[in-house]
């Protein structure tokens, strides 16, 4: 990376919120929830001109879990089709719209 490209890098507005969670993903296994989070974060940072450490770490998580990006997205689409991956945690059946 040249100095001019580094100076054009942008700070992602959600970097400080996402960084700690990416560190957790690096240390954990590929649970359904973690797969969904990895896919969400890969989409968020895909093509972003900056946050290169996050992009590198997301690639590392994918590699550690033995998945390609296509496999990750296939698995997470299936999880979302089944539903419930992001249901309010700890709140039983509070999704009542009445």
Condensed to tens digits (0 to 9), the pLDDT of residues 10-45 reads 999 999 999 999 999 999 999 999 999 999 999 999
Q: Which domain holds residue 37?
A: 29-83
Cα separations in angstroms, 62 against 13, 21, 22, 70: 23, 15, 11, 11
Q: Is residue 97 part of a domain?
A: no
Residue 86 has pLDDT above 90, yes or no: no
Lowest mean pLDDT among 39-48, 60-69, 87-96: 87-96
CA separation for the pair 70, 20 (Å, rounded): 25
Using DSSP's 3-state secondary structure scheme, residue 11 falls into: coil
What six digits make up the tokens of 12? 């992602």
The torsion angles phi and psi of 69, rounded to 5 degrees, stand at -65, -40
Q: Is residue 52 part of a domain?
A: yes
Q: Is residue 44 part of a domain?
A: yes
Residue 94 has pLDDT above 60, yes or no: no
Lowest mean pLDDT among 21-25, 55-59, 84-88: 84-88
Q: So what's the pLDDT on residue 47?
A: 93
User: Taking all residues of the chain, what is their mean pLDDT, rounded to a whole number?
Assistant: 86
Instruction: For residue 52, count CB atoms less than 10 angstroms from its CB and return exposed for 0-12, middle for 13-18, buried for 19 or more.
Output: middle
- Structurally, the chain folds into a number of domains equal to 1
Q: Is residue 70 part of a domain?
A: yes
Q: Is residue 18 part of a domain?
A: no
Q: How many C-alpha atoms does 82 have within 13 Å on its Cβ side?
A: 11
H runs (alpha helix) in 1-98: 3-7, 15-27, 32-45, 52-64, 69-82
Q: Is residue 39 part of a domain?
A: yes
């Amino acid at each position: 990376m040249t100095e001019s490209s580094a100076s054009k890098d942008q700070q992602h507005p959600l970097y400080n919120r996402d960084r700690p969670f990416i560190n957790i993903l690096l240390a954990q296994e590929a649970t359904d929830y973690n797969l969904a989070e990895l896919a969400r974060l890969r989409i968020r940072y895909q093509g972003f001109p900056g946050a290169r450490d996050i992009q590198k770490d997301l690639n590392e998580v994918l590699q550690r879990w033995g998945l390609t990006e296509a496999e990750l997205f296939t698995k997470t689409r299936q999880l979302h089709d089944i539903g419930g991956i992001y249901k309010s945690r700890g709140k039983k059946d509070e999704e009542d719209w009445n």
